[in-house]
Structures are given as C-alpha cells and as structure tokens.
C-alpha cells in the first residue's frame, strides 16, 4: 500500500510541479549552461545503489574543484540560480521520478553516498532497512545544523518507530521546516 501511495503522490507531484521544473530548467541553462540535471550514485534499501536525480545547482565539474564532494554553506561553486533552488529545496523535485521508479519513498532517511555507508556502525546500518526518502525525520529536525551522528540517530529512530501516522506528521511539518529555514535538504553529501 505504501508503494501505491508513493507512486500516486509522486505522479501528482510531478504533474503539479512540471511548470516549476520547466522554469528552473530554463533558468539553469540561461545562468550557467551545461546539463540541467545532476545524477549521482546513492545507497538505498538494503544497501543497493541507484542513480539519484537532482536539478544541477553547482558549476559543471564542481566535484573536481574546491572541497570536492563536500558542499559547504556559501560554497562559491554554487551558481546564482542554484542558491535560489537550494534555499527552498526545489533542486530535490526531480527525485519524485526516483519515487516513481521505486528507488525512493516520499518519507524516509535521505539517501547517502557509498563512502558514508562504509563508515556506518551496525546500528546505523538500520537506515538501510527502508527506502530512502525525499523528506524525513532528520530533515524536519534541522538536518544541516545537526552533527552527523545525531542525524543518523534520528533516521534510525524513524526506522524503529515508522508508521503511517509518523509519515503524515513528517509530511505535515516539512513545509514549515522549508519556509522557516530549518530544512536544508540533502546537504550531507555531494549535491551538484
């Protein structure tokens, strides 16, 4: 049932946000040229890798300059349009396609990079027992402001306590977190 709800929500979300995605794509092209989308391998359910899709918010080839895969607040590699897209997490909208494909869910721990998963303790590996999500328990609690271990612990808590009611609570709090500036999307890993 969760899969059907995810697919329906993602399909509706893509239909509703398609004008926003089209405008963002045009702005990216006009601002910095290059590809509109950024694709990156991430780790999902049961440790399986998949290709995450995002709107590109950084210079082309940014992973080979500056801090490499790390992205810091105010990173000079972030484009002008990219700053705006990141501010309200519009760069995450293409992940609705990942949800439609079945790689992700609407709610769950954010997908991480393989090198981060390699550092997990056995308890932290519990994050991989559910599909990664576009939003989650750690995101609504200020993900980017929290230390890595605390973010992972919030995700493990979600895995241990997940329910339809908890998912609804997370969904209800996500917009407030976005506009209050406490939601920082996917800043834990590379996000060109």
| pLDDT, tens only, 68-123 | 666 766 788 889 999 999 888 899 999 999 999 999 999 999 999 999 999 999 99
Question: How many other β-carbons are positioned within 10 Å of the β-carbon of residue 19?
Answer: 9
Q: What is the pLDDT of residue 64?
A: 73
Report angle CA 4, 42, 94 to the nearest 5 degrees: 55
Flag whether 188 is in a domain.
Answer: no
Q: What is the pLDDT of residue 146?
A: 79
Q: What is the pLDDT of residue 183?
A: 46
Pairing of strands 105-107, 133-135: parallel
Q: What is the pLDDT of residue 191?
A: 42
Flag whether 191 is in a domain.
Answer: no
Q: How far is the C-alpha of 20 from the C-alpha of 68, rounded, in Å?
A: 29
Q: What is the pLDDT of residue 188?
A: 43
Flag whether 60 is in a domain.
Answer: yes
Flag whether 96 is in a domain.
Answer: yes
Structure tokens at 63: 């992973």
Domain total for the chain?
1
Flag whether 24 is in a domain.
Answer: yes
What is the longest distance spanned by two Cα atoms in the chain? 46
Flag whether 39 is in a domain.
Answer: yes
187 to 1, 4, 17, 97: CA distances (angstroms): 30, 29, 22, 20
Q: How far is the C-alpha of 114 from the C-alpha of 111, rounded, in Å?
A: 10
Q: What residue numbers bound the domain in which 33 lies?
A: 2-180
Flag whether 192 is in a domain.
Answer: no
Flag whether 174 is in a domain.
Answer: yes
Rounded to two decimals, the pTM is 0.86
Q: Which residue positions in the chain have pLDDT lower than 70? A: 66-70, 72-73, 143-144, 179-192
Q: What is the pLDDT of residue 65?
A: 72
Q: What is the pLDDT of residue 190?
A: 39
């Amino acid at each position: 049932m969760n899969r059907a709800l995810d697919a329906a929500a993602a399909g509706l979300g893509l239909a509703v946000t398609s004008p926003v995605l089209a405008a963002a794509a045009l702005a990216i092209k006009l601002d910095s040229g290059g590809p509109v989308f950024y694709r990156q391998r991430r780790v999902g359910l049961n440790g399986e890798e998949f290709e995450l899709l995002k709107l590109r918010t950084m210079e082309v080839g940014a992973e080979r300059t500056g801090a490499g895969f790390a992205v810091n607040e105010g990173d000079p590699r972030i484009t002008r349009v990219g700053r705006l897209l990141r501010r309200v997490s519009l760069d995450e909208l293409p992940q609705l396609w990942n949800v439609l494909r079945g790689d992700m869910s609407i709610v769950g721990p954010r997908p991480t990079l393989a090198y981060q998963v390699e550092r997990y303790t056995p308890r932290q590996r519990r994050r991989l027992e559910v599909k990664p999500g576009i939003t989650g328990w750690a995101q609504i609690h200020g993900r980017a402001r929290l230390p890595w271990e605390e973010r992972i612990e919030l995700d493990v808590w979600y895995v241990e306590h997940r329910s339809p009611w908890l998912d609804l609570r997370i969904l209800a709090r996500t917009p407030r977190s976005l506009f209050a500036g406490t939601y920082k999307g996917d800043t834990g890993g590379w996000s060109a």
